[in-house]
Amino acid sequence: MTQTITELFAGKKVLITGATGFIGKVLVEKLLRCCPLLSHIYLIIRSKNRKTAAERWEFITQQTIFSRVKEECPDTLNKVTVINGDLMTKGIGLSESDRKILEEEVELVFHSAASVRFNDPLTFAVFLNTRGTWEMIKLAKNIKNLLCFLYVSTTYSNSHLDVPIIEEKIYPPTQSYKTLIHLCETENPDHLALLTSKILGKHPNTYTFTKSLAEQIILDNCKELPVVIVRPSVVINSIHEPMSGWVDNLNGLLSIIAGISKGVLRVFLAKESCSLDYVAVDYVINSLIAAAWHKSILKEKTNKELTVFNCAYGNIRKATFHDVKIYGMFVAKKYPHKDVLWYPRIQLISSSALYTLSFYLFQLLPSIIVDTFLYINGSDPILVKLSRKIYNASYALQLFTSKSFVFGNTNLSSLWKSMNKEDQKIFFMHPPEDMTIKRIIAIAHLGLQKFFFNDGEENLHKNTSRLNKLYWADVFVRIIIYCLLIWSLYNISIMILQYSSQNI
């Protein structure tokens, strides 16, 4: 009889990178809570902002994400050992003693460390996302009892391709990762910055480009190591575990929902019919654990083949930007935030020229008006600065907000079916039928409100009262803008008529 997931992890020692990130935190929490017989977890963390690696991890364990672990199985936190290291450096910055411990004791590796920012300089992104993966592979080759090396990629690593379906396979690279790493190690970063667009080619940003290169590293080593790749799509808040709606960032879809809820996002460059593939972080984590289990129990012959899992559910729970717009405004008005800066209202515009015009009229101009009032009242004016960021982000995300991507998930579906009912219950990966996009956005909104903005339900009445006042203020400002627009068009028309009459 095949081992269950919890049976496989019993007595095992695991190495995780990226434990301070969104996915990494939830992965550690899930393993501690649902695999209590696991022997040990090693975390590679770098020192940052005058805090040691151990201090950074201690701070993270005080966050809400670990409240259930502390309540249900507090002793498991003692199974975590923090190792000082830095994936930005060669050799990962490990001491010889720490490296020896990992090589002797670790059996499963989850490599999730990465920078997810789209606008990282090429050298930075290559060193962390690509060379960091290569350095981890070098470490893995010396691990004596390695059962699985799991690499966390992204479905959008192949967003440069013009294909109907991005399948669960490795596509041919556009550049050599060895050449790129060598260039970044030897050339002036400023010179490479000037060549970035040419080096990226059809890749939209340095993030997807360097993640694609990292996949090539995994492919090149699949004959020597038991490797597997899991590609999540757009990762959002938790749906079920460890608590509904938990989130600690404003990345991707969450930034749009928060922007609508706070009233700072007025116009956005997106095609309403464009679909967006998203996946809750708890589904991602369960997919990672299940994929590592699956790889570990394979026979030696099959173990030398690379399996890719697209952790994407667009074929099951499809959402469009129109859905995000409608339901985002609905929940923002039903459960308003306490610090709403303006009444939630958003327009989605697919034309770049029309978007730019609308941005100046409905985003920047109201921001100037609100910032003026904030300044007069002694508060810091922030909306104009935020509007600039929104404008830049809109164009950075244009490929993903104007083109619908379809991701094949046959391998992921097969993985789910290969799990027994006990594992499916603990490590659920299949969205329930009643999990609609409306409900998901509501969970995301309430999760942001509670865990990110620290706004309790007890403020609902007060927040609603404030929102009603903002509604009339919004109406007043919109009337002013439309009057200015009509006045401007009228004067332009008069000038044109006068000019025409003088030339007759």
The three-state DSSP-derived secondary structure of 320-365 is: EHHHHHHHHHHHHHHCCCCCCCCCCCCEEECCHHHHHHHHHHHHHH
Per DSSP, the three-state class of 303 is helix
Give me the pLDDT at residue 301, please.
45
Q: Is 210 exposed, middle or buried (0-12, 13-18, 19+ CB in 10 A)?
A: buried
Amino acid at site 100: K
State how beta strands 80-84 and 40-45 pair.
parallel
Q: Is 456 exposed, middle or buried (0-12, 13-18, 19+ CB in 10 A)?
A: exposed
- What is the side-by-side order of every strand in the sheet holding 40-45? 80-84, 40-45, 13-17, 108-111, 148-152, 227-232, 307-311
Give me the pLDDT at residue 371, please.
85
Amino acid at site 139: L
Alpha carbons 241 and 248: distance in angstroms, whole number:
14
Per DSSP, the three-state class of 170 is coil
Q: Is 171 exposed, middle or buried (0-12, 13-18, 19+ CB in 10 A)?
A: middle
Q: Tell me the C-alpha to C-alpha distance, in Å, between residue 450 and each of 44, 255, 327.
A: 30, 15, 18
Per DSSP, the three-state class of 219 is helix
Are 365 and 481 contacting, i.e. CB atoms less than 8 angstroms apart?
yes
Alpha carbons 448 and 460: distance in angstroms, whole number:
15
Ordered mean pLDDT values, 10 residues apiece, the chain (504 residues): 89 97 96 95 94 95 95 93 95 95 97 92 96 97 96 96 94 93 92 91 94 97 95 95 93 90 91 92 97 84 79 83 94 89 90 92 84 83 86 89 93 94 93 85 93 81 82 81 83 80 66
Residue 214 C-alpha from the chain's centroid: 17
CA–CA–CA angle 96, 99, 104 (5° rounding): 125
Alpha carbons 345 and 439: distance in angstroms, whole number:
20
Straight-line distance from the first to the last Cα atom of the chain, in angstroms, rounded to the nearest whole number? 95
Work out the number of other CB atoms within 10 angstroms of the CB of residue 134.
20
Alpha carbons 338 and 449: distance in angstroms, whole number:
9
54 Cβ contact list (under 8 Å, min separation 6): 45, 82, 84
Give me the pLDDT at residue 462, please.
81
Q: Is 356 exposed, middle or buried (0-12, 13-18, 19+ CB in 10 A)?
A: middle
Highest CATH level, class, for 5-249+277-316+406-430? alpha beta
Q: Largest Cα–Cα distance of the chain, in whole Å?
A: 95
pTM exceeding 0.75: yes
Work out the number of other CB atoms within 10 angstroms of the CB of residue 66.
19
Are 430 and 413 contacting, i.e. CB atoms less than 8 angstroms apart?
no
Alpha carbons 361 and 478: distance in angstroms, whole number:
10
Alpha carbons 441 and 253: distance in angstroms, whole number:
10
Residue ranges of the alpha helices (H) in 128-174?
A: 132-140
